[in-house]
Chains A and B, each alone.
Chain A
């Protein structure tokens, strides 16, 4: 562990546990810090790119934490920005950690490439807000339900790949069992709850699992009933991840059938923040969740 450099000017956020959060968070933090240092030094992206034998867009990618760091590049940038010896040591140590391989990379053979960054980001988040229309959110699925969902997407023949994908989904869920877990704020459409994925028994057990999970103080589930008009604002699932540092912006993740979009421009963040806020204010309050889930469970 290294001391966390002062990267933000806000008070929000807890210290980030690198070991828990994984290299993605370290990359984002290091990138954000490098951007602050570059701006403070009055260096353009283009000039910084030139100093590390690269382009303006290479600097952009580095500063967003989208790529691994070469130690030589980081060293050259710190020279260019005239960073103090103390901070150099810390940032170079971070660069070393940022290149560590996340455990989820082991699963790159069974999940599409566009999903891997999400896995890294989800591990680093302190708040996960999501809206799901079709299925129960992955972080709240039981193994049997997950298995059923994964075989829908497949060719219908479960094989070793399905097993591995299910195992990955269960590993993802471990973030909710951490000593200081992220908060999960999920709005689930009633349609997703009533769809008997995997058959009635699997669906009922899944609903009981949701009731159980909603008891945790860090898991908040709200149900958007059929009667709600709010759903018009979202035509598919929306996930928004928040990270602990004040200068790391929220990330919006939109998953589609064969790809995913990652958004974090201010206008996009505001748009989807508003979508999630509308869904949450119009959905039933969390105090009603257990009763609604129990009613649906009995009706299946």
Chain B
């Protein structure tokens, strides 16, 4: 991690999306999104994200991603360490940062997403994330996602959406110089 500068604090409260449409510029080589207590009203739902190259008018940039997790049930009955074929993306759809979140009042997801050189106009744009979920089964689920947005256009907006219904939570945007 470099030197993080807080750019904005963004809050959702039962919303269909949390959009960050300012502050993503050429000012920083790297942006860090800190997701705090993201709650989805749909049981077994998750937080998805996508990016925009037109200021937030469209969130549909082509991407190629990977996804794996380590998980462990509260009752100690099962552990998993596996690639999640159903969570990766090759196309313009949203990437799943989490899946299987519980909808109990105390369930949530927290973690960090890094986006590299979003304003560069020569290369694809890489990202990776590590987000921890209290899963609906219930289990601890440590979720690793990564990939690249297959565009040489500058990315200038990011959306976080629930897989269905609504989401709540706080996302802090930092720039790293």
Whether chain B is bound by chain A comes out as: no
A interface vs B, CB < 8 Å? none
B interface vs A, CB < 8 Å? none
